Amino acid sequence: MAKIIDGKKIAKELNEKTSDEVKKLLVKDNIVPGLVVIIVGDDEASYRYVRNKHRTAQKLGINSIVDSQPATISENELIDLINKYNNDDQINGILVQDPLPSGIDEKKITKAIDPKKDVDGFHPLNVGKLFLDDSTNYPVACTPKGIITMLDYYNIDIKGKNAVVIGRSAIVGKPMGALLLNRGASTTIIHRYTKDIYEYTRNADIVVSATGQVHLLGQDAFKKGAVIIDVGQNRDENGHLVGDVDFEDASNQASYITPVPGGVGPMTIATLMQQTVELTKWSKENGE
């Protein structure tokens, strides 16, 4: 049976380190990291997620602001709001929660965020640095960054391995592929138009799945000893949270595997908090 990658445990330890860093900034420099999450409209799932972020930030000593805006806000008004926080020295991280109402261009909103406060790592400048494997400090998409933290925690070697990422989103798939490539893996990104995904997954040492399809992958999708990272957050016919991978079945093939829930999920928020503090420290180092 595979060894379970315990995302809850790693996230807890990461949050403890983040809390310690927040205390050091306060004692040494009288600085409190500031995070603002802008949420537009009344999507209940988004509000639940934002509340979890807010509670975690407060618990760690981060100054957390949730700025709720009506769905009727215009694109220009939203950009003006972002610029207000761009120019606020007390705010180190800015996040605009998806989804946004129709009529608002998400790409324009992402570009409006100051790259130095882009806590989600989605600004084109930061994405470019990631794909160039730039040597400077910059934020990276939180879920992929959290996955790398998990692999490192269990001393899972990436260099020289065959890695397959299922899904090509800007949130997970593309940055995940870049991070693995930067760490020396031979990386392939496959997606809905790939004709035979098993042709790729069965030869992979590391598989990261982010498709949003319930139990798409069983043990016959993987080679013996594969490391399986399941990013899926899906609801089955009984309303239970499950992943892309049939956990019980695939565990027979894997050397390491993440459960759903309790795997990647907790790492995303923990990494968001970590990155908020990192942005604060980088800003201080640059005298900004």
pLDDT grade for 179, boundaries at 50, 70 and 90? very high
State the pLDDT at residue 11: 98
In this model, does residue 239 exceed pLDDT 90? no
State the pLDDT at residue 288: 73
In this model, does residue 75 exceed pLDDT 90? yes
State the pLDDT at residue 135: 97
Taken as a whole, the chain contains a residue count of 288
In this model, does residue 1 exceed pLDDT 90? no
State the pLDDT at residue 43: 87
Please give the C-alpha separations between residue 263 and each of 243, 266, 270, in angstroms, as whole numbers: 10, 7, 12
Region 150-159: mean pLDDT is 98
Q: pLDDT, tens digit, for every residue of 268-285?
A: 999 999 999 999 999 989
3-state helix, strand, coil in the chain (%, to 5): 45, 15, 40
Whether 109 and 86 have beta carbons less than 8 Å apart is answered as no
In this model, does residue 287 exceed pLDDT 80? no
Region 220-240: mean pLDDT is 93
Q: Which residue has the higher pLDDT, 97 or 236?
A: 97
**Active centre residues (catalytic):** 53, 97, 120
71 phi and psi angles, rounded to 5 deg: -65, -15
State the pLDDT at residue 167: 97
Domains of the chain: 29-114 (3.40.50.10860), 142-265 (3.40.50.720)
Q: Is 60 helix (H, G, I), strand (E, B) or coil?
A: helix
* b/e sequence 214-227, b meaning 16+ C-beta within 10 Å: bbbbebebbeeebb
State the pLDDT at residue 250: 97
Q: pLDDT, tens digit, for every residue of 245-270?
A: 999 999 999 999 999 999 999 999 99
